[in-house]
Structure 1
């Protein structure tokens, strides 16, 4: 009789330990990913509902023609648009080689005092590439044109 209760107690301990380990692993994964997930927003979404200054997110669209200004040092300013709204962007760093006006871009950063302060800027990779989120946002505004093949 004592042998069966000992086996039963061991089994319960193993199951309890497995549950605790699973909860701990889930908590660690959630904690490590809290800053790694960046939500995408189009310029129209940012204009309608501006995010808080401490929220890091991605914005994408076209670099608005006539707004690209290279300032002192490495600071660059431009507007990103999806045809419905235009958001000013400031970036201090080296831009990708393919970055230019009327081309697709995605930036990561924060929306502070009415402008997007980018920590990273990505440009399209070739003549036909544009991130799906950017294409969807441009189609929603009716400005997207299919690339010529």
Structure 2
């Protein structure tokens, strides 16, 4: 074998190895993120197209006035609305300090038998902030009023 064909063979091996490494790393990243990607839904989107009970996603909107019920123990029940639909929520845990009725919230959880079972609840962190997804969902329903205008 000549030196030229040996270099060509080595170059092909390096390129093939790099391609295999790229494919393997892409598959590993996708596998690692399968549970880390949670899609956002508004109450209207959730009612229109309910997901499967084993799908974890984020639900956001306004905590509907008059629906916040603190049960025995740590269970809290309330409804989230975007003005077009309302979804009942159950959460067992400690709510954020700024959680209140008529305030924006985003929860992570699953939709089982018509109830959003939240594993995590996030509330706005100051008086003016509301998550972009929640603002977009409220604007879509014609409910959102910009406090700066």
How many Å separate the matches in 2 of 1:147 and 1:126?
Answer: 13
Per the normalisation by structure 2, the TM-score is 0.97
Q: CA-to-partner distance for each residue in 1:33-60, whole Å, 9 max, x for gaps? A: 1110000000000011111101100000
- Structure 2 gap ranges (5+): none
Task: Tell me how many residue pairs correspond in the alignment.
Answer: 149
3-state SS of the aligned residue for 1:18? helix
Q: Residue in 2 aligned with 1:116? A: 116
Q: CA-to-partner distance for each residue in 1:45-89, whole Å, 9 max, x for gaps? A: 001111110110000000000000001110000000000000000
How many Å separate the matches in 1 of 2:145 and 2:6?
Answer: 72
- Structure 1 gap ranges (5+): none
Q: Residue in 2 aligned with 1:82? A: 82
- What pairs with 1:1-149 in structure 2 (closer than 5 Å)? 2-147=2-147
Q: CA-to-partner distance for each residue in 1:84-106, whole Å, 9 max, x for gaps? A: 00000000000000001000000
3-state SS of the aligned residue for 2:51? coil
- Give the aligned CA root-mean-square deviation in angstroms: 1.1
Per the normalisation by structure 1, the TM-score is 0.97
Please identify runs of 4+ aligned residues in structure 1 that moved more than 3 A.
none
